Structure 1
Amino acid sequence: MADLTPIWISLKTALTATVITFFLGIIAAHSMLGYRGKLKGLIESCLTIPLVLPPTVVGFVLLLLLGKNGFIGQILDYFGLTIVFSWYATVVASTVVAFPLMYKTALGAFKQIDPNLLACAKTLGASEWKIFWRIILPLAKPGIIAATLLSFGRALGEFGATLMLAGAIPGKTETIPIAIFFAVEGGERERALWLVVVILLISLSVIMAVNYWVEENKISRKNQTNFYSVDKFFFHRREQNTSPPQPASTKQPVRLIVDIQKQLPEFFLDITFAADHTPLGLLGASGAGKSLILKCIAGLVTPDKGRIVLNGKVLFDSQQGINLSSRDRACGFLFQDYALFPHLTVAENIAFGMPTHKSQSKIQAEIEKLLIALELSGKERRYPQELSGGEKQRVALARARASQPEIMLLDEPFSALDTYLRDKQTKLLRNNLNYYPGITLFITHNLEEAYCLCPKLLVIDRGKAITYGTKQAIFQHPGKYRTAQLTGCKNFSRAIAISAHCIKAVDWDCLLEIRESSPKFFKYVGIRPYQLIFSSRPTKNTFPAWLTATIETPHCMTLY
């Protein structure tokens, strides 16, 4: 009768080592994910070195450490414990050689997660534990499953390190690989072949079982019914004492004060402005620092120095050493790509940031109210990949609103939408902002969006605020050449003053009469397209011209 002891020892060892490496590998990978210290390279090397060293070398190092004369071995001996040449030695050896596979694969899976998803979860008030459990772990699940299978396979097939540390004691430390080696060495080819078939069947069975479980889990997920109470069930106890962020109250004036500086490779960000309940548009070219300002307010980026105050609460103050985390700032952030959690339904996405002290019925009622307000009724069970661009934008807006923020930070929310959807979503957003009691900052490149949604504008160029005022004043009297450019003016000429009401356009070689007195210092004159008219009779500021080129667009023709 065949001896089944090596099979039992191998299974017991591999399963135990896999469980240990599963937890240690995930903990190490998550810890190293955000680590940026100087010792990162050294720590990474220490964690992965068993992957590149020969197993016998790993076993010899373990023998030096755990043996009677080793550092760890002497400590264990003091307590009457012995690891070497015992079953525990097989577990230690298998764990050490399997750990790098679990760690590196899990770390790779974590790094594949969109950073915006994690940043969004923080702005919704989620704790680090909730982010890990609800976002990181589910999204990294395929990679973690692969890492677990690799670790199990490596632990099951471990030979060199086990032989060095645990020996080949029949019935105690003789695993399948060791039994195969000695069977071949002793001429027992049939026994060796039988053990090879067994280890192959074990590996295939585990892989098939895991794949089946994953598929079944997907099906059960699709049929899930109770999707409103997930956050409440898992995280109510942990976060029940945390007061939820409240919308702007009447006790404190609704006001945001920003005065921050940060050195960047491209430019130096130095911005100072204030905002109230009136939506403020941030207008500027790409790379001007607009998104960075929102991230500094939300706590996703830390300024070098300065101060940020929201409704009387200091969010950041470099002099006082205050820097509240994103989850404590009560900021609703709408990212350019919307940052919807792909593994959660529409309802679960919206419920993610809701205060956990609320009852399930209250959460459900609020979700349904938001869905109706944003024309998303009937889509609560859908996943983000099943939605159109406009629907994703509305879900992201509903999720941000559901967290009851004191300020809404909208980072180009319409950039991924076509013209028709953009117009529709702009109207819908404007209607929603009319009922929002807090502060709104809106980033856009589109002049029509800025004019439609924001009564006030802040024009930014290379990290500096160059113009601030009402939209009418900025478009009619931009005051600066760069402001005029960013607000759509394309016709410029160098200019000099002739008199109080007459200037000379140098590049156009003509004299222009102006209604208002010319500024004391100016260099350019600009004319917007709507200010040019065709006239058949000579009047003031009328000049002969000829057509050089045309550009035709739907319902519009540009003449040059």
Structure 2
Amino acid sequence: MPQDLSPLWISLKTSFLATFITFFMGIGAAYWMFGYRGKGKSIIEGIFIAPLILPPTVVGFLLLLFFGRNGPVGKLMELFNLTIVFTWYGAAIAATVVSFPLMYKTALGSFEQIDANLLRVARTLGAKELTIFWRVSLPLAFPGILAGVTLAFARALGEFGATLMLAGNIPGQTQNVPMAIYFAVEAGDINEAWFWAVSIVAISLSGIILTNLWQEQKHKVRSINKEIDKQIEPENQSFLASSRSSASGLFIDIEKKLANFHLQVAFNTDSQPLGLLGASGAGKSMILRCIAGIETPTQGVIVLNNKVLFDSKKGIDIPVRNRRIGFLFQNYALFPHLNVAQNIAFGLPKKLSCGNLNLEVEKQLIAMELQGLGDRYPHQLSGGQQQRVALARALASQPEGLLLDEPFCALDTHLRSQLEQQMTETLTDYSGVTLFVTHNMEEAYRLCANLLVLENGKEAHHGSKYEIFQHPATMNVAKITGCKNFSRAVCISSQQLEAIDWNCTLQVVESVPNKLSHIGIRAHQIVFTNDPYQENTFPCWLARTSETPHRITLFLKLHSPARNVHDHHLQAEVYKEKWVKIKNLPFPWYVHLEPLRLMLME
């Protein structure tokens, strides 16, 4: 062991100081770059990580030019009779500069791994950006940041080239362990070089190993909790829900232009739930995101309860946190580092006393029948429980609008059915504006009084669910709402038309529209009859069947037997009880297309 241990103490205090500085600078720079959308991002990124890719001696030379006697900082410090070159402070600066990129890149990667919906939902709950950073971003990124701290410390501990250029090799003042190793080898003292080498390796590896052990232990605890929770029976899923929000309605008239998509919609809705139906990419979720303020429309107006949320002409764009919108995302976006009670309390006013805050949370737990689960974390909950927590969190902030983005898509069939019934109760008691996005036509019909059908970012049909299902405006609306039978149609008279693809003439009740394009009928509205002389009654033969647990779909060929399983005109759906009665009857069967059920479409 060398008699002079000053290189060790110099290395340790230099590394700790450098790590302390890079901790704040790295996190600050990473979070800023995480949200930065301006120009020159790649150039700024290149400057930040340059010390990681440049040779340390080059970094030291640049620092010497900057802090030296003729450098900008050197000249400034000379006025105060101060200097950085060949001092311990120079060694600390060199260690800070070379370790900064590791802290920055690791922190940036940690922030980028955070589910963006968590940040969005925090904004919809009224949280300010600084609050989101401290309560959401930083806690979730902390494991990665801790790894960055360890790497930055190890890098600072091993710094040699930049330190030698800026601070020199002054024993007892700037000579650190790497320099001691180099000059010991140069002097032929291999034993001393071994001592310093083993010391620096031991210190560096111990930090990395301790960090890994901490992360492994944390992962093991979470895994054990998951195994335990698998054995816990799901609790009673029924719940009551309430809200104190009052609403007079939502008006929206916006355009959102993207490279390959153009949303252009105008509609208004009141306290009755409005279902948004449409294929993937039709613009349903984009409408919700524009209302919440997560996305900014290219132009237009959004008004909720006479409060202008967005007006492109007047330059009004209220921040997300001030819009009083409750947003239930597809994945629920529960904060994983907060327990159930903390998730629910997140959007509650900060001015509430601790007692009132706890009382409000308890009221939500009781309303959602989540009693006893307040201390659990999201990963310890079933899918249905997670959904109820997310809904309780959204309602606790007393939003004037509730946006539901396919809340049942991740649930199994049984749980989906249960929660759908419970959601119906919730929406019945909630007096605010509700928009419900879904792909499922039956789901929308059961939950919503009114529907907005979207097609390629445009309104295809807006009205009551009865109107849209009975009289869809276009064939595409009929398809989206579940109709399977269509034929091109030609008008013969005001009450008669020819169904070209079905090869038949049909009597209709509705007046034939001037721009008639197609005629359709829903599968469950096709009637089998024993009277072949009724109007709109035709002989048919069975091409094939398709079975579900409760119904049979019959693929029927009109007028003549089917040549193969694909040769059919109509699909008819019947309950299995009906199928048992007709399946052994001789062909032809007769189907009756009721004039009242026929849909005339442009």
Give the TM-score taking structure 2 as reference length: 0.86
* Structure 1 counterpart of 2:25: 24
In structure 2, relative to structure 1, the CA distance for the partners of 1:220 and 1:450 (3 Å cut) is: closer
CA-CA distance at 1:219 after TM superposition: 11
Matches within 5 A, 1:314-353: 314-353=308-347
Could you tell me how far apart the structure 1 residues matched to 2:349 and 2:206 are?
44
* Structure 1 counterpart of 2:535: 540
* Structure 1 counterpart of 2:546: 551
Preserved contact between residue 9 and residue 174 of structure 1 (Cα < 8 Å) = yes
2:66 is aligned with 1:65? yes
CA-CA distance at 1:358 after TM superposition: 1.3
Could you tell me how far apart the structure 1 residues matched to 2:548 and 2:93 are?
72
Could you tell me how far apart the structure 2 residues matched to 1:530 and 1:6 are?
86
> Residues 340-386 of structure 1: CA distance to partner in whole angstroms, max 9, x if unpaired?
11111111111111111112222222222222222322222221112
CA-CA distance at 1:470 after TM superposition: 0.7
> Residues 375-418 of structure 1: CA distance to partner in whole angstroms, max 9, x if unpaired?
32222222111212111111111111111111000000001111
Q: Which has the larger radius of gyration?
A: 2
Matches within 5 A, 1:41-440: 41-207=42-208, 210=211, 248-249=245-246, 254-440=248-434
Preserved contact between residue 457 and residue 470 of structure 1 (Cα < 8 Å) = yes
CA-CA distance at 1:479 after TM superposition: 2.1
Preserved contact between residue 247 and residue 406 of structure 1 (Cα < 8 Å) = no
> Residues 29-59 of structure 1: CA distance to partner in whole angstroms, max 9, x if unpaired?
0000011222101100011011011101110
Preserved contact between residue 181 and residue 196 of structure 2 (Cα < 8 Å) = yes
SS in 1 for 2:172: coil
Could you tell me how far apart the structure 2 residues matched to 1:154 and 1:383 are?
36
SS in 1 for 2:423: helix
Could you tell me how far apart the structure 1 residues matched to 2:222 and 2:471 are?
57
* Structure 2 counterpart of 1:493: 487
Query: Which one of 525, 535, 548 corresponds to residue 531 of structure 1?
Result: 525
SS in 2 for 1:143: helix
Which range moves more in the overlay, 72-81 or 41-50?
A: 72-81
CA-CA distance at 1:210 after TM superposition: 4.8
C-alpha RMSD of matched pairs (Å): 1.9
* Structure 1 counterpart of 2:498: 504
* Structure 1 counterpart of 2:235: none
Could you tell me how far apart the structure 1 residues matched to 2:218 and 2:407 are?
34
Could you tell me how far apart the structure 1 residues matched to 2:440 and 2:17 are?
59
* Structure 1 counterpart of 2:240: none
Q: Which amino acid aligns with 1:27?
A: G
Preserved contact between residue 124 and residue 332 of structure 1 (Cα < 8 Å) = yes
* Structure 2 counterpart of 1:235: none
Preserved contact between residue 6 and residue 171 of structure 1 (Cα < 8 Å) = yes
Q: How many residues align?
A: 534
Could you tell me how far apart the structure 1 residues matched to 2:136 and 2:37 are?
22
Could you tell me how far apart the structure 1 residues matched to 2:65 and 2:258 are?
50
Preserved contact between residue 184 and residue 190 of structure 2 (Cα < 8 Å) = yes
CA-CA distance at 1:205 after TM superposition: 3.8
Which range moves more in the overlay, 262-271 or 137-146?
A: 262-271
CA-CA distance at 1:476 after TM superposition: 0.6
* Structure 1 counterpart of 2:440: 446
Which range moves more in the overlay, 36-45 or 372-381?
A: 372-381
Preserved contact between residue 551 and residue 559 of structure 1 (Cα < 8 Å) = yes
> Residues 203-231 of structure 1: CA distance to partner in whole angstroms, max 9, x if unpaired?
24434555676689899999xxxxxxxxx
CA-CA distance at 1:200 after TM superposition: 2.4
Could you tell me how far apart the structure 1 residues matched to 2:468 and 2:405 are?
21
In structure 2, relative to structure 1, the CA distance for the partners of 1:188 and 1:306 (3 Å cut) is: same
Which range moves more in the overlay, 517-526 or 166-175?
A: 517-526
Could you tell me how far apart the structure 2 residues matched to 1:216 and 1:49 are?
35
Could you tell me how far apart the structure 2 residues matched to 1:220 and 1:3 are?
45
* Structure 2 counterpart of 1:10: 11
Could you tell me how far apart the structure 2 residues matched to 1:248 and 1:423 are?
27
SS in 1 for 2:81: coil
Unaligned runs of 5+ in 2: 224-242, 556-602
CA-CA distance at 1:451 after TM superposition: 1.1
> Residues 409-436 of structure 1: CA distance to partner in whole angstroms, max 9, x if unpaired?
0000001111111110011011111111
Could you tell me how far apart the structure 2 residues matched to 1:300 and 1:174 are?
53
SS in 2 for 1:548: strand
Preserved contact between residue 458 and residue 468 of structure 1 (Cα < 8 Å) = yes
Give the TM-score taking structure 1 as reference length: 0.92
SS in 1 for 2:282: coil
Preserved contact between residue 158 and residue 177 of structure 1 (Cα < 8 Å) = yes
CA-CA distance at 1:201 after TM superposition: 2.7
* Structure 2 counterpart of 1:225: none
Preserved contact between residue 102 and residue 147 of structure 1 (Cα < 8 Å) = yes
Preserved contact between residue 7 and residue 177 of structure 2 (Cα < 8 Å) = yes
SS in 2 for 1:68: coil
Identity fraction in percent: 57
Could you tell me how far apart the structure 2 residues matched to 1:505 and 1:180 are?
93
